[in-house]
Structure 1
Amino acid sequence: MSTSTSSIESSAPRRASRPPTKVFKGHTDLVGSVAYFPDGHRIASASDDETVIIWDLKSGRQDGEPLQHDSAVRWIAISPDGRRIASGLQQGGLVIWDAPTRKVVHEIKGGGVWRLAYSPNGRWIATALTAGERAVRLWDADTGRLEVLKCGGDVLCVAFSPDGTQIAVGLSRGFFQVIEISTGKSVVGPIKGHTRRVNSIVYSPDGCLVTASQDESIRVWDSKTGVQVGKPMLGHKKDVFCISITANGRRIASAGRDKTVRVWDLETRLQVGDSFDADYWVLSVAFSPDNRYLISDNGNDVCLWDTESLAIQGSSSPPSTSSRNPPVGVILHVCAHLL
């Protein structure tokens, strides 16, 4: 275990085998990215077999023909309205698809894309390149126009703030940074938050930042100051590759090189239930819009995991429906009450 976590006892319970609720089979090579459509009825997966497959969750079958590419697809993102799919290619740049017609809207040539994200209003697509460029490439999703935002290190992952005005970037050597889109200037950092590279970064609904690292830890930050909020979430035995947060901001999912998918309670920082076990490294994980399900890659397959039965550590019963789905308009001010 890395030096940053060895002095703190892991909060993770004993691992137990929990089979997936459903397995989606159809790719012929490794799946590296998964995403939910906003309606919650379909998911998409991207693979080294140069395709993106859209799946119907109810039937477990492919929804239409796969989207064919000329290179391995490293990452995908779905627009907030569900009408566009952005594919980041290992070689060849970025392809934007119209989801209803399955036709290409834009094909943007450039370097290989490692990670990408859609802005909340669907206008922008931010990309991190596989070459480790010290900048975020920001594309206009309608015109393909490019803007470049310089960063303080090699960019490994990107996330838009909930209001869409800023981009958070995870960097090499454990740093992260927040950039104002309108000015291109850094408003936070670069700050060294981890001892090793930052593999994944997301915003909570109320604007906190959550980062996952090669140092095996997951940490929460005040996005305005860069100050760490509360204790880290520990339990992974190897690199954490990916994280996802529920729409209500209460839970985080994480996965990585130790072949486990874990769910965490953001308030207590404790793991919720036992880990879900995969057969391969897990590169991507995503919560469903209703906060109940998780999808993840597992080799050539995609797994669906039901988190409803997971009880918070120390509790004998699973969370109630009201705890999973708060009334519309309720925002959990996680950063404020954990300070």
Structure 2
Amino acid sequence: MASTATKAAGTKSILTPSNTLKGHGNWIASISYFPDGQRMISGSDDKTTREWDVKTGKEIEEARDVREGSVYAVGVSKNGRWIATGGDRAELKVCEVETGIVKKFKGHTNVITCIDISADNMWLASASFDETARIWNLDTGKLVAGPFKGEDPMGAVRFSPNSNKLAVKSNWGRRLEVWDVQSQKLDVKVGAPVTPT
């Protein structure tokens, strides 16, 4: 009987692109779908965020945002109300889609690598090379919880489905931490910090 690995190696990929989205001038760091599945947003090292019509494969040019620095993290709330972005300027930008009002959330002191929006569309989590994660109120821009201090630059952040927990992964993948949002205490820590070489 053939192993799973052998079967996988001998199977032709059934995934084929339905569209190729072209327009960024440098590498793309992050993408996120809108809830309708018809549009997506991308952030790039070319200092832009771009919105795309997935069906046509065309950029919605009037929605383009030109930044002062690279964009490493983008997210769309599950209700489609908010678009959030972060990057190498240690600043989060949050746009209310319907009104076009843009807010800037300041507090990080280094590159923002990743973001997540809670399932109830109320909170924005961000993590950074400043070795902290923070939770913000999307309506007010105020810090809700944190900073949660880690031991490494942070590379991924995710809310639990009920938003009671915040998981944070180190940028180089050796440490995972789970924080209790209410108590702001570390629940679980797995792996060792990265030792600089």
Give the structure-1-normalised TM-score: 0.47
The answer to whether 1:162 aligns with 2:35 is yes
Quote the residue 2:22 is aligned against.
150
Quote the residue 2:189 is aligned against.
none
Aligned-CA RMSD value: 2.5
Question: What fraction of aligned residue pairs are identical, expressed as a percent?
Answer: 25
Q: 2:77 aligns with which of 199, 204, 211?
A: 204
CA, structure 1 residues 153+190, in 2 after alignment: closer, same or farther (shift >3 Å)?
Answer: farther
Q: 2-side partners of 1:106 and 1:165: how far apart?
A: 31
User: Could you tell me whether the CA contact under 8 Å between 1:231 and 1:269 is conserved in 2?
Assistant: yes
Quote the residue 2:138 is aligned against.
266
Quote the residue 2:92 is aligned against.
218
Alignment of 1:1-339 (within 5 A): 143-146=14-17, 147-154=19-26, 155-189=28-62, 191-207=64-80, 208-223=82-97, 227=100, 229-298=101-170, 300-309=174-183
Shift of 1:190: 6.5
**Superimposed CA distance per residue, residues 232-272 of structure 1 (whole angstroms, 9 cap, x where no aligned partner):** 01000011000011000101111111000111111110111
Q: 2-side partners of 1:309 and 1:163: how far apart?
A: 35
CA, structure 1 residues 106+148, in 2 after alignment: closer, same or farther (shift >3 Å)?
Answer: farther
| Structure 1 unmatched ranges of 5 or more | 1-101, 108-141, 311-339
User: Could you tell me whether the CA contact under 8 Å between 1:209 and 1:223 is conserved in 2?
Assistant: yes
Q: Which amino acid aligns with 1:246?
A: S
Shift of 1:105: 9.4
Shift of 1:287: 0.5
Q: Greater relative contact order: 1 or 2 (C-alpha under 8 angstroms, separation 6 or more)?
A: 1
Q: Equivalent residue of 2:169, what SS?
A: strand
Quote the residue 1:87 is aligned against.
none
CA, structure 1 residues 103+267, in 2 after alignment: closer, same or farther (shift >3 Å)?
Answer: farther
Q: Which amino acid aligns with 2:93?
A: R
CA, structure 1 residues 150+260, in 2 after alignment: closer, same or farther (shift >3 Å)?
Answer: same
Q: Which amino acid aligns with 1:269?
A: G
Q: Equivalent residue of 2:41, what SS?
A: strand
Q: 1-side partners of 2:114 and 2:7: how far apart?
A: 28
> How many equivalent residue pairs?
173
CA, structure 1 residues 238+104, in 2 after alignment: closer, same or farther (shift >3 Å)?
Answer: farther
| Structure 2 unmatched ranges of 5 or more | 185-197
CA, structure 1 residues 205+252, in 2 after alignment: closer, same or farther (shift >3 Å)?
Answer: same
Q: Which amino acid aligns with 2:90?
A: E
Give the structure-2-normalised TM-score: 0.78
